[in-house]
Amino acid sequence: MTKTITGFSKLSKSEKIDWLVSTYFTDSKSAKTLLKQYWNANEKLQQLHDEFIENTITNYYLPLGVAPNFLINNKLYTIPMAIEESSVVAAASKAAKFWYDRGGFKAEVISTQKIGQVHFMYHGDVAKLNQFFTTLKPKLIEDSKSITKNMEKRGGGILDIELKNKTQDIEGYYQLHATFETLDAMGANFINSCLEQFAKTLKNQAQCFDLFSAEEKDIEIIMSILSNYVPDCLVRAKVSCKVEELTENPNISAQEFAEKFVQAVRIAEVEPFRAVTHNKGIMNGIDAVVLATGNDFRAVEAGVHAYASRHGKYSSLTHAKIEDGIFTFWIEIPLALGTVGGLTKLHPLVRLALELLGEPSAKELMQIVAVAGLAQNFAALRSLTTTGIQEGHMKMHLMNILNQFEATSEEKVKLVEYFKTNTVTHSAVVEEIEKLRH
């Protein structure tokens, strides 16, 4: 049985590794060598990475690829994507080229409001609390001035604060529900700082409110935290063309393809089991760009999936229609992103990714990310409704299988050539490797 360790965080990186490899690995020398292989030779750069999180022992690499030829609002982009899944970058690139020849993608930011809440308990007269809030609201804003002044200079800040009665859900439960504009910053630290100040002001002012009884003055703050559900931080992206321009596949007519495509989207709108996989494909594109640009893909995922369930049933994030001979495919999605602060200034590859995109504002990045998700979904649905998803995916996955079996360069050349005209399956690849080797 492995023993616990005291003071692990205080050990040096080398001491942490020595303890790990001697405690958990049968071949401690090989494990230690592997961990050190992923250190950056540049000591300053490695130290930077070590300080991103706690208890670092090495770096975990993901491929950083690019998808070129994205025409968005008549501006051409090459989009950086950090992802390990085969065929995602290829599919995005193919969709980008397809729509480049048909006018490109159109995108617009609908709104950029972000949300934070102070959750508290109050057991007293609701009318008194409402009256108290009337006097409290300006004080909440005034007491936060030292936090908001710089954001306000740039045109952002606190947009509104509401008192919400949630006692139908939990007895005595109320919220200060605040909306914010954080401009090019994702704004988590700014919002949370404001909320914690709101909580202090709420607690202090309640003690001074004459209409409250002693019990009513004893407001209990539960927590103060931003929400990653941002239904009013929305971006829309779309593509459209004449139906007859829609297909490059000689085995299916443009009209038939358009109708099958629309039906595939409708199925994802009404069938949650399909919608989850449908939306996962969208997030392949979105997460890859969010990660490459140093944003929080976990927050984006959580908010997006909540949005997909906003009508009480999990549903598709994309929609499609055929109207007057025009095919239209679009996505509307909540994205709280930033291009300043956090990793955007610290991680060298994030800086490079943002420069590659032309140093976008947060609004522009929202549009780019939404387009990446739409492109990914278009590519997936085009495959699903024509050739099937596995043909293209498995050909991209071929190299992973070859690497798994440590194929030589010569073997890779022969096998890639063979599978240009043969179906790729794991067993088929293994069989051909064995034939080559025997």
pLDDT tens-digit series, residues 247-286: 767 788 999 999 999 999 999 999 999 999 999 999 999 9
pLDDT at 80 over 90: yes
Q: Does residue 165 or residue 405 have the better pLDDT? A: 165
- CA 316-295-371 angle, to 5 degrees, is 40
Least trusted range by pLDDT, from 183-187, 233-237, 430-434: 430-434
> What is the per-residue pLDDT for 389?
56
> What is the per-residue pLDDT for 405?
81
Q: Does residue 206 or residue 392 have the better pLDDT? A: 206
> What is the per-residue pLDDT for 341?
84
Average pLDDT score over residue span 296-322: 98
What secondary structure letter does DSSP report for 340?
Answer: B
CA distances from 9 to 40, 45, 438 (A): 21, 21, 52
CB-based contacts of 253, cutoff 8 Å, min separation 6 = 247
> What is the per-residue pLDDT for 394?
61
> What is the per-residue pLDDT for 435?
82
Residue 422, SS3?
A: coil
pLDDT at 14 over 70: yes
Q: For the chain, give the percent of residues with pLDDT over 90.
A: 83
Average pLDDT score over residue span 34-63: 94
The owner of tokens 């069938």 is 271
CA 201, CA 63: separation in Å to the nearest integer? 47
Mean pLDDT of the chain: 93
For the chain, report the end-to-end CA distance as a whole number of angstroms: 45
> What is the per-residue pLDDT for 422?
77
pLDDT at 393 over 60: no
- Which pair of structure tokens corresponds to residue 12? 């040096």
pLDDT bracket for residue 193 (50, 70, 90): very high
Which residue segments constitute the domains of the chain, with CATH numbers given?
Answer: 64-110+234-387 (3.90.770.10), 114-227 (3.30.70.420), 393-437 (no CATH)
**Is the separation of the CB atoms in 287 and 205 below 8 Å?**
no
Q: What's the pTM value of the predicted model, to 2 decimals?
A: 0.89
HEC states along 112-123? CCEEEEEEEECC
pLDDT bracket for residue 76 (50, 70, 90): very high
pLDDT at 176 over 90: yes
pLDDT at 390 over 60: no
Q: Give the amino acid at 140.
A: L
Average pLDDT score over residue span 65-77: 98
Phi, psi angle pair for 94, to nearest 5°:
-65, -40
pLDDT at 132 over 70: yes
> What is the per-residue pLDDT for 343?
84
Average pLDDT score over residue span 142-162: 97
Active site residues: 85, 280, 296, 393
pLDDT at 428 over 90: no
pLDDT tens-digit series, residues 342-358: 888 889 999 999 999 99
